[in-house]
């Protein structure tokens, strides 16, 4: 990625809010998220299950159900001008999806139609945004299967999803996502249901394709180790909000939010005989979120002021590094951060 590409925004999300009506109350699944994806960049979005990662991606793509869902804010895809994707027509959004924006879902076992061959579904993706004959589309589909590393593509075109392994299904979904050569790929937990070796293969494939095509990518994961390995910048989400963002090297070496620091310390450490450090407590309810900082009930640095603080992302002394913690100067350094530090 060149310096010029790093400075060019491809997608801007501003104050995004997605609320879901349930019988128990309104779930504030995404609550004021703002982020930017730059040209040819891999942006990582990390956080525990239920923090709003998937809903953020689905809202960007216009895939949230209309009934019982309220969304506000702006999603600006800059190659199409300043039009807000949350307010454009469904016809315009459908034209954009697939041709410019694509998404890979986290469960490959349920993402494809079980009664249609993989080849038919791939051909459908190829012809959705390009005029070509069935024969041309078939050839394009085979070349895509070759590109994502599926052996014997002629034969596998005739197979049904149940005849594919989990790793091969994910490769097929990547092929479908790349059918129209999108500029932005959203990968929502693409390795969650796969074993470790296959996970590494899929991540390597995605990075190779990203570098070859120059597309931008949002990679969503609950695994911070995966995110730090492959992403240029990282967004950390908690309780429907972004709590920290910055370039990968800064997040790893100088985390400034207690939650980010806790995630890093929860990773396996080579010299500690496999000891893992867990995060006490549980994520907050997004129906009845705590006042002030949403991490305060689990945070060893929390004080009474944290419950009344009007939370916002604050600039740190690093460029592009922002954090939602008013005590962020105390969450730094390489020494092991202990709960007793809050004294």
Across the strands, what pairs with 188? 220
DSSP 84: B
User: Do both 93 and 215 map to the same domain?
Assistant: yes
Across the strands, what pairs with 18? 30, 71
- Among 71-75, 86-90, 272-276, name the one with the lowest average pLDDT: 272-276
Tokens of 316: 């740190």
Q: For residues 28 and 239, what is the distance between their CA atoms, to the nearest angstrom?
A: 9
Give pLDDT, residue 234: 97
User: Do both 178 and 63 map to the same domain?
Assistant: yes
User: Do both 200 and 63 map to the same domain?
Assistant: yes
User: Do both 33 and 119 map to the same domain?
Assistant: yes
Give pLDDT, residue 273: 53
User: Do both 185 and 46 map to the same domain?
Assistant: yes
User: Do both 228 and 254 map to the same domain?
Assistant: no
What CATH number is given to the structural domain containing 215?
3.40.50.300
- Among 140-144, 176-180, 218-222, 270-274, name the one with the lowest average pLDDT: 270-274
Q: What is the mean pLDDT of residues 16-25?
A: 95
Give pLDDT, residue 289: 87
Q: For residues 328 and 309, what is the distance between their CA atoms, to the nearest angstrom?
A: 13
Give pLDDT, residue 180: 86
In degrees rounded to 5, what are phi and psi of residue 14?
-125, 120
Q: For residues 135 and 123, what is the distance between their CA atoms, to the nearest angstrom?
A: 10
The dihedral of CA 247, 207, 186, 92: what is its sign?
A: positive
Of residues 179, 259, 218, the one with CA closest to residue 37: 218
User: Do both 226 and 274 map to the same domain?
Assistant: no
Residues 228-287 pLDDT 10s: 989 999 999 999 999 999 999 999 999 999 999 999 988 876 545 556 678 888 899 999
Give pLDDT, residue 109: 80
Chain centroid to Cα 267, Å, comes to 19
User: Do both 182 and 251 map to the same domain?
Assistant: no
Q: For residues 210 and 286, what is the distance between their CA atoms, to the nearest angstrom?
A: 34
185, 204, 238 - which closes a domain: 238
Q: Is the pLDDT of residue 30 over 70?
A: yes
Task: Give the helix/strand (H/E) hosting 144.
Answer: helix 134-147
Q: Is the pLDDT of residue 153 over 90?
A: yes
Q: What is the mean pLDDT of the chain?
A: 88
User: Do both 171 and 293 map to the same domain?
Assistant: no
Q: For residues 280 and 338, what is the distance between their CA atoms, to the nearest angstrom?
A: 12
Percent above pLDDT 90 for the chain: 64
Task: pLDDT band for 154, please (50, 70, 90 cuts).
Answer: very high
Task: pLDDT band for 66, please (50, 70, 90 cuts).
Answer: confident
Task: pLDDT band for 337, please (50, 70, 90 cuts).
Answer: very low
Q: Is the pLDDT of residue 4 over 50?
A: no
Q: For residues 250 and 184, what is the distance between their CA atoms, to the nearest angstrom?
A: 24
Task: Give the helix/strand (H/E) hosting 221.
Answer: strand 216-221
192, 209, 238 - which closes a domain: 238
Q: Considering only residues 269 and 121, tell me which one the structure prediction assigns the higher pLDDT.
A: 121
User: Do both 55 and 8 map to the same domain?
Assistant: yes
Task: Give the helix/strand (H/E) hosting 226.
Answer: helix 224-230
Instruction: Please count the structural domains in the chain.
Output: 2
User: Do both 326 and 206 map to the same domain?
Assistant: no
The dihedral of CA 288, 293, 298, 304: what is its sign?
A: negative
User: Residue 58 belongs to what domain range?
Assistant: 3-238
Q: Considering only residues 260 and 3, tell me which one the structure prediction assigns the higher pLDDT.
A: 260
238, 263, 283 - which closes a domain: 238
Give the angle 204-206-209 at the CA atoms, nearest 5°: 105
User: Do both 14 and 140 map to the same domain?
Assistant: yes
Q: What is the mean pLDDT of residues 171-191?
A: 92
Q: What is the mean pLDDT of residues 196-217?
A: 92
- Among 52-66, 255-269, 324-338, name the one with the lowest average pLDDT: 324-338
Give pLDDT, residue 76: 96
Q: Is the pTM of this model over 0.85?
A: yes
């Amino acid at each position: 990625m060149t310096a010029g590409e790093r400075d060019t925004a491809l997608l801007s999300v501003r104050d995004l809010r997605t609320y879901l009506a349930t019988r128990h109350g309104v779930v504030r699944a995404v609550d004021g998220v703002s982020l930017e994806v730059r040209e040819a960049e891999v942006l990582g979005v990390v956080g525990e299950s239920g923090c709003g990662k998937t809903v953020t991606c689905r809202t960007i793509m216009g895939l949230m159900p209309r009934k019982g869902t309220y969304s506000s804010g702006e999603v600006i895809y800059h190659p199409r001008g300043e039009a807000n994707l949350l307010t454009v027509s469904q016809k315009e959004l459908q034209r954009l999806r697939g041709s410019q924006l694509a998404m890979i879902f986290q469960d490959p076992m349920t993402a494809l139609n079980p009664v249609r061959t993989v080849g038919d579904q791939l051909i459908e993706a190829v012809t959705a945004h390009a005029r070509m004959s069935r024969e041309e589309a078939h050839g394009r589909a085979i070349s895509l299967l070759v590109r994502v590393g599926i052996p014997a593509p002629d034969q596998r075109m005739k197979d049904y999803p149940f005849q594919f392994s989990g790793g091969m299904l994910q490769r097929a979904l990547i092929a479908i996502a790349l059918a129209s050569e999108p500029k932005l790929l959203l990968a929502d937990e693409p390795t969650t249901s796969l074993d470790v070796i296959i996970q590494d293969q899929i991540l390597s494939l995605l990075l190779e394709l990203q570098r070859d095509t120059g597309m931008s990518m949002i990679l969503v994961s609950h695994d911070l180790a995966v995110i730090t390995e492959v992403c240029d910048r990282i967004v950390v989400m908690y309780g429907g909000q972004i709590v920290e963002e910055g370039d990968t090297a800064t997040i790893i070496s100088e985390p400034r939010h207690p939650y980010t620091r806790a995630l890093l310390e929860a990773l396996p450490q080579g010299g500690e005989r496999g000891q893992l450090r867990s995060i006490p407590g549980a994520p907050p309810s997004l129906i009845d979120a705590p006042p002030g900082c949403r991490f305060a009930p689990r945070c060893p640095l929390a004080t009474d002021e944290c419950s009344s603080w009007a939370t916002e992302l604050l600039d740190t002394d690093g460029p592009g590094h922002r954090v939602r913690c008013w005590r962020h100067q105390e969450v730094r350094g390489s020494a092991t951060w202990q709960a007793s530090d809050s004294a």
